[in-house]
Amino acid sequence: MQKMKNLAYIAVMLLVLSSCGEYQKVLNKGTVEEQYKMAVKMYEAQKYGKALRLFEKITPSYRGKPQMERIQFMVSQSNFNEKNYGLAGYYFNRFTGNYPKSSKREEAAFLSALSYYKAAPSFSLDPTDTNKALEAFQKFMDNYPDSDKIEEANKYHAELRAKLEKKSFEIAKTYYKTADYDSRNYKAAIVAFDNLLEDYLGTKYKEEALYYRLKAAHDFAIKSTQRRKAERIKEAVKAYDKLKRNFPESKFMEESNEMLATLNKEQEQLAKS
């Protein structure tokens, strides 16, 4: 029994070595047609890394030829399966532009967006791929409203938008929290919170954003020079009014009322001076 197992193992190893030898031979010395056939064979065998090496070699020879449509899709899919998501997104997007009448155009459009989605880092890092994914999913939904992937595309789009919304909120908070070290960040925080509220209507961060915007405006006014203080107090009072108008029962109302009292006191002192 053990002898049979050993013979089977040896047979498998010989087959693997033979296959590897054939691949290397075609890769290094095969004709373009042989390399194309081997690339497709590797792709169908789910050996995407090997397929990509061959596709890279033969692409110049097939540019402009009928086979190029299939090659470009397989290159895109191979990069996706190898988790080269940034490249996959780029190649799938190119495919949709190069082959507008392809039966695989809808699939490529969705996979381009999904690739950028998978390439997108956490909300705190560079949002480049997140923005690309958002744009790609929006374009997909606009172009294929009846696609069976539309629900999935909507889900990913909402998730990505929430990621950017959170990033926008955290950036604004960071400006406020670092303003003690750089007073210019009070103004930056106010602008950032205004942008958040304008870009993401109905944001779940609205109450907290209005509260922090008030704090930034309050602190900015209190720490201002006499020449600018009156103007900035008025802006801070407006921030208070906006918070109270939108969230009259806000959990931040007690502290906000204290800030308003301080602003009113400062305003009275200015009127006397």
Report the residue count for the chain.
273
Confidence category of residue 21, pLDDT binned at 50, 70, 90? confident
Q: Please enumerate, as own/partner, the contacts of 214-217 that have beta carbons within 8 Å and a separation of 24 or more.
A: 214/239, 214/240, 214/242, 214/243, 214/256, 214/259, 215/176, 215/259, 216/175, 216/176, 216/179, 216/186, 216/189, 216/190, 217/186, 217/190
Q: Give the pLDDT mean for 54-63.
A: 94
Confidence category of residue 121, pLDDT binned at 50, 70, 90? confident
Q: Give residue 1's pLDDT.
A: 56
pLDDT cut 70: percent of the chain above it: 91
Does the pLDDT value for residue 80 go beyond 70? yes
Q: Give the pLDDT mean for 192-211.
A: 96
Q: Give residue 226's pLDDT.
A: 86
Q: Give residue 227's pLDDT.
A: 86
Q: Give the pLDDT mean for 17-38.
A: 83
Q: Give residue 12's pLDDT.
A: 40
Q: Give the pLDDT mean for 200-209.
A: 96
| Residues near 46 by beta carbon (within 8 Å), at least 6 away in sequence | 81
Contact between 229 and 270 (Cβ < 8 Å): yes
Contact between 67 and 36 (Cβ < 8 Å): yes
Q: Give residue 8's pLDDT.
A: 45
- 11-20, 61-70, 123-132, 213-222: segment of lowest average pLDDT: 11-20
Q: Give residue 11's pLDDT.
A: 43
Q: Give residue 124's pLDDT.
A: 52
Q: What is the mean pLDDT of the chain?
A: 90
Confidence category of residue 127, pLDDT binned at 50, 70, 90? confident
Confidence category of residue 128, pLDDT binned at 50, 70, 90? confident
| Residues near 217 by beta carbon (within 8 Å), at least 6 away in sequence | 186, 190, 232, 235, 236, 238, 239
Q: Give residue 17's pLDDT.
A: 43
